[in-house]
Amino acid sequence: MLYELALFPDYRLSSYGGPGGTHAFQYDANDNRTRKTVSGAITHFNNASTSNQLNTLSGALSQSRSYDNNGNTTAIGAEVLTYSDANRL
């Protein structure tokens, strides 16, 4: 399988193409991914301004995320994640 990669000048992934189509990415000033386009279908990444944590995906893919006070991801969509007292998944 052959993939073609393109990078921004700061070496962040700009796009890649292969058997699954073309994927293109955009980022904000904090290097958070803000948008992904896959063969024309756009997904927006919505990050919390105070923590840079990913809150929701909207558009072609819709999904929410939740976090605990330690910053651990506790839910991705309907999937619930639990951690030990040592913050281990």
Q: How confident is the model at residue 2 (pLDDT cuts 50, 70, 90)?
A: confident
**Number of helical H runs and strand E runs in the chain:** 0, 9
Indicate if the pLDDT at residue 50 is higher than 90. Answer: no
Indicate if the pLDDT at residue 18 is higher than 90. Answer: no
CA distance 21 to 49: 31
Indicate if the pLDDT at residue 1 is higher than 80. Answer: no
Indicate if the pLDDT at residue 20 is higher than 90. Answer: no
- pLDDT score, position 67: 95
